[in-house]
C-alpha cells in the first residue's frame, strides 16, 4: 500500500486539517484527503491510520474505511470484518471512553459489511466470536459466561448502531428484513431476556444504553413493517416488559434519566406500532394512574416544586407526551365512559397535570402539550355523540348525568386555559401568540359542546381587570368568527338572538368604558377592535343599533388621539368592516363623517390607509341613503378637495400623501359600485331617479374624474412614473366596466381607450402590465362595442410601439400574450384579418417559445391552443386560420414554424414544465395530424441540441406513436418518454 499512498503524507494532511485556520487551505486539504479516501488502496490506508496514536488520525482512518466500503464494496468481507473487530477490541482495551467516537464509526463499518453481505454471515455471532476469540461462541454462551460487563455494553452498542445503519438505507431489501427477523432479532430477544433477568444487578449506565438500543430497534420495526411483509407482534412483549420494568416500582428522583429514556421508548412503541401495546394497556394505566404507583408518585413529587419543574422540564414534557400518546389510543373508550369512576379519576389526573403551575412556554410546556389531547377529547365527544347515546341506552337520566359530567370537565379545563392565556410581560410574543391561537381553537370546540353558558362566562369575566378582560375579549372574538363563518350574510335576528342577547348584556355593562380613554394597554384595545370588527350582524339588529353611536365615538377617538399609531390603523379597519355591512344603519352619522373625511383629506401626516378606509366607509354610507342629488354633491365635494389638496402639496417631498389622495378616489369608485341584483337594491322610483341623474350627470363628475386621472398620471412627470398611481388609475377605470346602469364611474369606451394608449407611452415597464390588465378588462366587458380599427390602434400603442421595453421584461411578454389571447378567445375577427398587425402578433407568439419562464410558457401555449381551436370564431375565421397554418407562399408555413419552435422548446424545457406543452401537441395532432407528421419529421431530422442524438428510425417511431394517439391523453406519455430519451434521463 505504501508504494501507492504515502502514509506520512496522509497523516500530515489530516493534522493540517485540524490545525489550519485558513479557509482556502482547509478546502485544498479536504479535496486532497478525499482523493486519498477514494483510492483503491484506501482500506489498507484506513487500517494503517487506525494504528496511529493521534485520535484525529484514527478517526480519519475509520472514515476512510467507510468511504472505501461505500465506493468499492467488500470482497473478502469476513477477513475485513475480523480485522476491523480486532482493531476495535484494541481501542476498547486502550481507553473505551476516549476512543468511543472511533469505536462507533468502526461499528458502523461492521454494519455496512453486514448490509452488503447479509445473506452470507451472521454479524452478531461473528462480532461476539471476535470479542471472545472463540469460533463456537453463541449468544447464550456469551451471556452465561460473561465476566466483563464491558463486553455486554459493546454488544448492545453494536446492536444499536447496526439498527441505525440499516435504517439509513434508501431502499430496503425484502430478504434483508426476513434475515434480520430470523437471526438478528432472535439475538436481540436473547440479550433482552438476559437483561430482564439480571435487571436488579445492572448499572444505570448499562440500562440507559439498553434503552437507547431498544429505541433504535422500535423505529426499525415500524419501518420494516411499512416496507415489507414482515410483522412484529407478541414477539415484542419481552422488549415492552423491559421498557416498563423501571416504572413498575416507586419513584426515585435520582433515576430521572432512566425514567426519561423509558418514556421515550414507550412513546415510540405507541407512535410507531400501537397495536403491540394492546396487551399492556391495563398495566400502563395501573403504572401511571393508580394511587401510590409510579405515575402518581412522579406527579406528586415533581409537580410539588417549581424548582423540580424547572430542573426536569424536558423530562416532564417527555412524560406528558407519553401520557397524551397513550390516552389518545383509547380516546373513544374514555369519552364514552365518563360516568365510570375509575375512568373519571384518570381524566381528573390529566386536568390536574394541565393545570401545571407557572407561565406557559416560560415555566411550563405541559398545557401546550396537552392541548392536542383536549382537542382530540372534544372532537371525539362531538363525532361520537349518536353512538354514545346508544351506549347510554337512550336513558334520559343517564344522558343528563353524562352531559353534566362532560360539561363540568370541559368548563374546568376551559378555566385553566383561560387563566393560561392571560398575558405576561416577558414572554416571547410570537411563541405566546401561537399558544393563544391553539387555546382559541380549543375554545371553539368547547363552545360547540357547552354553547352559550361558556359565552356568558367569558362575557362576565370582562370588568376592571384589563388583563383578564383582554383574554375574554380575545376568545369571544375567535369564537364569534367561527360561529359566523358560514352565516356572514345571515341577518336572521331570531337565529342570532342568543348571541345578540349576550352582546347586548356586554355592551350594557359598558364594555367600551372598560378601556375608553385609556390607551396604555394596546393589546386589550386591539383585541376589542378586532372583536368589534366582526359584530356588524349585532349592530344591524334592533338591539345592537343603539350601540353604534358609542362604538363610533370610541373608534374615532382612537384615530384622533394618535392618528399615526398602529391602534389607529386597526380602528380604521374596524370602521371599514362595520360600514361594509351596516351602511343604512349609519346614515345618521353622515354629518360627523363628512367633517372627519374632510379633515383627513387635508392632513398630510395621517396614514394613507386610514384616510382611504374612512373615505370608502363615508361614500358607501352616502350611497346607501339612495338620494342621488345629495350623493352627487358630496362626491363632487370630495373630488374638488382632492384636486385642491394635490395642487397645494409638493409632489416630490410628499409623494405618498399625493398618491393617497388618488387612492381615495379609487376607494370612492369601489364604494359606488352597485350590488349585482340592482332591482332588489332600488325600488322602482329610486331606480328611475338613479338612471335620470347619472345619465344627465349635472355636475360633470365623470369628466372631473377623468381630469383627475390626467392630472395625476399623465401631466405630472414624477407621478406618471409611479406604479401605484398607474395601478389606482386603472382600477378606477375598471370599476364601472361591469355596471349595467350609468354611474359616476361609467366612462365612455373611446375615452378609456384614449387613456390606455396615452398612458402606455408614458409608463415605466413596472406599470405596463397594469395597463395590459385594464385592456383585457375592456375587451371582456365591451366586446360588442369594440371595432377592428380600435383594436389595431390599441395593440400598436400598448405592445408594438414599446416592443423593446416589452421584450426586456418577462412579465410584459406574458401580459402581452394574455392581451392577444383575450381577443382571439372572445372575438378573433377583431384581430386575425388585420394582416400586418396579426403577422406581428404571430411572430411575437412564435418567439415567446424561446423563453423558459413558466408563466410565459403557459400564456404562449394558451394563445396558440386557442388560435388553433377558435371556439368563438365563425366558420370563415376557422378556415382562414387553417389555410394560414399550411400556406407556404412566403417560405416556411406558420404551422411549420409553430411546430419547430414548440418542439425545440419542449425538448429543452425543464421537466417540471412538460405538462404545459402537452395540450398544444394534442391540439395539433387532432387538427393537423397529416401536416404535423411532415413538420415534425423535418424538425427532428435537423435538430442538434439534444443530449442524445437519436436515429432517424427512433424519431419516426416517436412520431408514429404520437400520431396514433389521435390527440388523446395517452399522447402525454408518448411525449414524456421521448423527452426522457432525448435528454438521457429516466422516469421516476
- The answer on 905 and 807 residing in a single domain is no
C-alpha distances in Å from residue 338, one per residue of 97, 387, 445, 450, 743: 53, 14, 18, 16, 65
Name the pLDDT band for 988 (thresholds 50, 70, 90): very low
In a domain, 49, yes or no: yes
Mean pLDDT of the region 937-957: 82
Rounded to the nearest integer, the mean pLDDT of the chain is 90
Rounded to a whole number of angstroms, the distance between the first and last alpha carbons of the chain is 42
Which domain does 823 fall in, by range?
Answer: 785-884
Residue labelled with grid coordinates 434480520: 180
Which of 1-10, 131-140, 979-988 shows the highest mean pLDDT? 131-140
Total domains, the chain:
4
- The answer on 695 and 606 residing in a single domain is yes
pLDDT score at 41: 80
- The yes-or-no verdict on residue 283 having pLDDT over 90 is yes
What residues form DSSP beta bridges with 494?
none
In a domain, 978, yes or no: yes
pLDDT score at 281: 92
C-alpha distances in Å from residue 147, one per residue of 37, 159, 210, 434, 758: 39, 20, 18, 55, 96
Boundary residue ending a domain (702, 719, 748): 702
- The yes-or-no verdict on residue 493 having pLDDT over 70 is no
Q: The whole model's pTM is what?
A: 0.79
- The answer on 54 and 37 residing in a single domain is yes
SS (H, E, C) 375-437: HHHHHHHHHCHHHHHHHCCCCHHHHHHHHHHHHHHHHHHHHHHHHHCCCCCCCCHHHHHHHHH
Residue labelled with grid coordinates 374612512: 614
pLDDT score at 3: 41
Residue labelled with grid coordinates 378567445: 825
Q: How far apart are CA 162 and CA 122, in angstroms?
A: 12
- The answer on 930 and 872 residing in a single domain is no
- The answer on 911 and 813 residing in a single domain is no
- The yes-or-no verdict on residue 225 having pLDDT over 50 is yes
In a domain, 716, yes or no: no
pLDDT score at 582: 87
- The answer on 869 and 918 residing in a single domain is no
Higher-confidence residue of 825 and 30: namely 825
pLDDT score at 2: 41
Mean pLDDT of the region 702-721: 94
Q: Sort residue 140 into left (φ over 0), alpha (ψ -120 to 50) or beta.
A: alpha
pLDDT score at 24: 73
pLDDT score at 170: 72
- The answer on 661 and 608 residing in a single domain is yes
pLDDT score at 81: 95
Name the pLDDT band for 890 (thresholds 50, 70, 90): confident
In a domain, 968, yes or no: yes
Boundary residue ending a domain (858, 884, 910): 884
- The answer on 929 and 844 residing in a single domain is no
Q: How far apart are CA 958 and CA 296, in angstroms?
A: 73
Phi/psi for 829 (5° steps) reads -65, -20
In a domain, 895, yes or no: yes
Mean pLDDT lowest among 41-45, 59-63, 280-284, 938-942: 41-45
- The answer on 893 and 795 residing in a single domain is no
pLDDT score at 530: 93
- The answer on 879 and 891 residing in a single domain is no
> Cell for 182?
430470523
Q: Are 123 and 111 in contact (CB under 8 A)?
A: yes
- The yes-or-no verdict on residue 424 having pLDDT over 70 is no
Mean pLDDT lowest among 15-29, 563-577, 813-827, 914-928: 15-29
Render pLDDT for 323-350 as a digit per residue (tens, 0 to 9): 999 999 989 999 999 999 999 999 999 9
Name the pLDDT band for 492 (thresholds 50, 70, 90): low
Mean pLDDT of the region 26-32: 73
Q: How far apart are CA 369 and CA 326, in angstroms?
A: 13
In a domain, 641, yes or no: yes
Q: Which long-range contacts (CB under 8 A, 24 or more apart) does 229-237 make?
A: 229/174, 230/177, 230/178, 230/181, 232/181, 232/185, 232/273, 232/276, 233/275, 233/276, 234/276, 234/279, 235/185, 235/189, 236/269, 236/273, 236/276, 237/276, 237/279
- How many Cα atoms sit within 13 Å of 115 on the Cβ side? 23
C-alpha distances in Å from residue 243, one per residue of 248, 265, 266, 394, 484: 10, 7, 7, 43, 49
Closest CA to 207 of 199, 219, 215: 199
> Cell for 787?
371595432
Give the count of beta carbons closer than 10 Å to the beta carbon of residue 811: 16
Closest CA to 820 of 797, 795, 800: 795
What residues form DSSP beta bridges with 364?
360
Counting every residue, how long is the chain? 988
In a domain, 281, yes or no: no
- The answer on 869 and 938 residing in a single domain is no
Give me the helices (H) in 761-827, please: 765-781, 788-795, 803-807, 810-826
Give me the helices (H) in 672-739, please: 678-681, 684-696, 701-710, 723-734
Name the pLDDT band for 1 (thresholds 50, 70, 90): very low
In a domain, 764, yes or no: no
Q: How far apart are CA 281 and CA 304, in angstroms?
A: 27
- The answer on 625 and 690 residing in a single domain is yes
Mean pLDDT lowest among 69-83, 629-643, 747-761, 898-912: 69-83
Phi/psi for 720 (5° steps) reads -65, -20
- The yes-or-no verdict on residue 906 having pLDDT over 60 is yes
Q: How far apart are CA 621 and CA 32, in angstroms?
A: 77
Boundary residue ending a domain (674, 702, 730): 702
Amino acid at each position: 500500500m505504501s508504494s501507492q499512498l504515502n502514509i506520512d503524507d496522509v497523516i500530515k494532511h489530516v493534522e493540517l486539517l485540524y490545525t489550519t485556520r485558513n479557509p482556502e487551505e482547509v478546502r485544498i486539504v479536504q479535496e486532497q484527503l478525499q482523493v486519498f479516501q477514494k483510492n483503491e488502496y484506501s482500506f489498507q490506508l484506513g487500517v494503517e491510520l487506525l494504528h496511529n496514536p493521534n485520535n484525529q488520525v484514527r478517526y480519519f482512518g475509520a472514515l476512510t474505511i467507510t468511504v472505501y466500503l461505500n465506493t468499492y464494496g467488500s470482497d473478502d468481507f469476513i477477513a475485513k470484518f475480523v480485522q476491523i473487530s480486532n482493531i476495535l477490541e484494541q481501542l476498547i482495551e486502550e481507553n473505551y471512553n476516549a476512543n468511543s467516537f472511533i469505536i462507533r464509526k468502526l461499528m458502523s463499518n461492521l454494519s455496512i459489511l453486514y448490509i452488503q453481505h447479509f445473506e452470507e454471515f451472521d454479524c452478531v455471532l461473528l462480532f461476539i466470536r471476535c470479542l471472545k476469540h472463540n469460533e463456537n461462541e453463541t449468544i447464550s454462551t456469551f451471556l452465561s459466561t460473561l465476566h466483563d460487563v464491558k463486553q455486554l455494553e459493546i454488544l448492545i452498542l453494536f446492536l444499536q448502531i447496526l439498527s441505525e445503519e440499516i435504517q439509513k438505507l434508501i431502499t430496503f431489501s425484502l430478504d434483508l428484513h426476513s434475515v434480520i427477523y430470523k437471526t438478528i432479532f432472535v439475538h436481540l430477544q436473547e440479550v433482552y431476556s438476559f437483561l430482564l433477568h439480571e435487571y436488579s444487578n445492572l448499572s444505570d449506565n448499562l440500562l440507559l444504553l439498553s434503552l437507547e438500543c431498544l429505541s433504535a430497534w422500535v423505529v426499525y420495526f415500524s419501518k420494516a413493517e411499512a416496507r415489507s411483509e414482515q410483522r412484529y407482534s407478541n414477539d415484542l412483549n419481552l422488549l415492552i416488559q423491559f421498557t416498563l420494568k423501571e416504572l413498575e416500582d416507586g419513584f426515585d428522583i435520582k433515576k430521572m434519566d432512566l425514567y426519561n429514556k423509558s418514556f421515550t421508548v414507550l412513546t415510540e412503541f405507541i407512535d410507531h406500532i400501537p397495536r403491540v401495546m394492546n396487551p399492556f394497556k391495563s398495566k400502563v394505566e395501573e403504572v401511571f394512574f393508580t394511587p401510590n404507583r409510579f405515575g402518581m408518585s412522579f406527579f406528586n413529587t415533581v409537580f410539588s416544586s417549581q424548582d423540580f419543574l424547572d430542573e426536569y422540564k424536558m423530562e416532564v414534557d417527555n412524560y406528558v407526551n407519553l401520557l397524551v400518546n397513550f390516552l389518545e389510543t383509547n380516546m373513544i373508550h374514555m369519552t364514552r365512559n365518563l360516568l365510570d369512576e375509575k375512568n373519571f379519576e384518570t381524566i381528573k389526573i390529566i386536568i390536574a397535570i394541565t393545570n401545571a403551575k407557572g407561565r406557559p412556554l416560560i415555566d411550563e410546556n405541559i398545557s401546550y402539550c396537552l392541548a392536542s389531547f383536549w382537542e382530540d377529547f372534544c372532537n371525539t365527544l362531538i363525532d361520537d355523540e349518536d353512538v354514545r347515546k346508544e351506549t347510554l341506552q337512550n336513558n334520559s337520566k343517564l344522558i343528563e348525568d353524562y352531559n353534566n359530567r362532560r360539561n363540568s370537565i370541559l368548563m374546568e379545563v376551559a378555566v385553566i386555559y383561560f387563566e393560561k392565556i392571560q398575558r405576561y410581560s416577558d414572554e416571547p410574543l410570537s411563541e405566546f401568540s401561537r399558544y393563544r391561537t391553539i387555546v382559541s381553537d380549543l375554545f371553539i370546540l368547547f363552545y360547540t359542546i357547552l354553547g352559550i353558558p361558556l359565552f356568558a362566562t367569558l362575557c362576565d369575566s370582562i370588568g376592571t381587570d384589563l388583563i383578564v378582560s383582554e383574554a375574554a375579549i380575545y376568545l369571544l372574538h375567535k369564537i364569534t368568527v367561527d360561529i359566523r363563518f358560514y352565516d356572514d350574510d345571515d341577518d336572521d335576528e331570531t337565529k342570532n338572538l342568543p348571541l345578540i342577547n349576550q352582546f347586548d348584556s356586554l355592551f350594557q355593562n359598558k364594555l367600551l368604558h372598560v378601556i375608553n380613554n385609556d390607551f396604555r394597554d394596546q393589546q386589550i384595545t386591539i383585541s376589542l377592535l378586532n372583536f368589534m370588527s366582526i359584530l356588524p350582524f349585532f349592530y344591524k339588529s334592533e338591539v345592537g343599533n343603539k350601540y353604534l353611536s358609542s362604538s363610533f365615538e370610541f373608534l374615532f377617538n382612537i384615530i384622533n388621539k394618535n392618528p399615526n399609531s398602529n391602534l389607529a390603523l386597526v380602528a380604521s379597519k374596524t370602521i371599514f368592516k362595520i360600514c361594509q355591512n351596516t351602511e343604512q344603519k349609519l346614515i345618521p352619522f353622515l354629518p360627523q363623517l363628512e367633517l372627519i373625511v374632510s379633515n383627513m383629506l387635508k392632513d398630510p401626516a395621517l396614514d394613507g390607509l386610514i384616510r382611504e378606509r374612512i373615505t370608502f366607509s363615508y361614500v358607501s354610507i352616502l350611497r346607501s341613503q339612495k338620494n342621488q342629488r345629495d350623493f352627487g354633491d358630496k362626491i363632487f365635494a370630495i373630488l374638488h378637495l382632492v384636486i385642491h389638496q394635490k395642487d397645494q402639496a409638493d409632489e416630490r417631498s410628499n409623494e405618498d400623501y399625493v398618491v393617497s389622495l388618488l387612492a381615495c378616489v379609487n376607494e370612492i369608485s369601489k364604494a359606488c359600485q352597485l350590488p349585482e341584483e340592482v332591482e332588489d337594491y332600488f325600488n322602482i322610483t329610486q331606480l328611475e331617479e338613479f338612471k335620470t341623474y347619472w345619465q344627465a350627470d349635472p355636475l360633470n363628475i365623470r369628466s372631473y374624474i377623468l381630469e383627475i386621472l390626467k392630472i395625476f398620471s399623465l401631466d405630472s412627470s414624477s407621478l406618471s412614473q409611479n406604479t401605484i398611481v398607474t395601478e389606482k388609475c386603472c382600477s378606477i377605470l375598471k370599476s364601472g366596466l361591469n355596471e349595467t346602469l350609468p354611474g359616476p364611474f361609467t366612462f365612455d369606451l373611446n375615452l378609456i381607450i384614449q387613456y390606455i394608449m396615452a398612458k402606455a407611452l408614458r409608463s415605466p415597464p413596472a406599470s405596463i402590465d397594469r395597463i395590459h390588465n385594464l385592456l383585457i378588462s375592456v375587451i371582456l366587458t365591451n366586446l360588442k362595442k369594440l371595432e377592428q380599427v380600435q383594436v389595431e390602434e390599441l395593440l400598436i400603442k400598448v405592445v408594438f410601439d414599446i416592443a423593446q421595453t416589452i421584450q426586456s421584461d418577462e412579465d410584459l411578454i406574458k401580459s402581452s400574450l394574455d392581451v392577444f389571447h383575450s381577443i382571439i378567445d372572445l372575438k378573433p375577427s377583431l384581430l386575425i384579418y388585420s394582416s400586418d398587425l396579426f403577422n406581428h402578433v404571430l411572430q411575437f407568439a412564435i418567439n415567446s417559445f424561446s423563453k423558459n419562464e413558466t408563466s410565459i410558457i403557459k400564456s404562449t401555449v394558451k394563445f396558440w391552443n386557442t388560435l388553433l381551436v377558435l371556439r368563438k370564431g365563425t366558420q370563415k375565421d376557422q378556415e382562414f386560420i387553417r389555410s394560414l397554418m399550411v400556406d407556404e407562399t412566403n417560405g416556411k408555413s406558420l404551422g411549420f414554424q409553430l411546430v419547430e419552435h414548440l418542439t425545440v422548446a419542449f425538448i429543452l424545457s425543464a421537466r417540471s414544465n412538460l405538462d404545459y406543452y402537452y395540450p398544444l401537441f394534442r391540439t395539433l395532432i387532432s387538427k393537423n395530424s397529416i401536416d404535423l407528421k411532415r413538420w415534425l419529421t423535418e424538425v427532428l431530422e435537423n435538430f442538434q441540441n439534444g443530449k442524445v442524438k437519436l436515429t432517424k428510425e427512433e424519431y419516426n417511431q416517436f412520431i408514429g406513436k404520437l400520431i396514433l394517439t389521435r390527440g388523446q391523453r395517452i399522447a402525454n406519455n408518448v411525449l414524456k418518454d421521448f423527452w426522457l430519451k432525448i435528454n438521457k434521463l429516466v422516469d421516476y
